Structure 1
């Protein structure tokens, strides 16, 4: 099955275990999660979000 190119904030919030309010606050503040704006619509690219979250990963092996 193909991965969707873009998802809405509700789908992404459920997928990453955060709230929609957290995503909205992130868009206004730190912008940790990359966002795509299409007019007034806000969408997220799952592959870009995966890459951004992987870049923020801490800990693990030495």
Structure 2
């Protein structure tokens, strides 16, 4: 699996394979990451441009 260094665990996802040609789906992404390859920040986090670290938004909910 390609978890971009944010997870050491994954499983084969048949649907993901059908869509992308790659079936590895990462589990338990670290550093506030999400996505099949830990490629984005999880919900309510944003990626700091200078180092790609995911930081909590700390936004007030409306």
Greater C-alpha radius of gyration? 2
Higher strand share: 2
Q: Which structure has the higher relative contact order (CA within 8 Å, separation 6+)?
A: 1
Bin of the TM-score, shorter chain as denominator length = under 0.3
Higher helix share: 1
After TM superposition, the score normalised by the length of structure 1 is 0.24
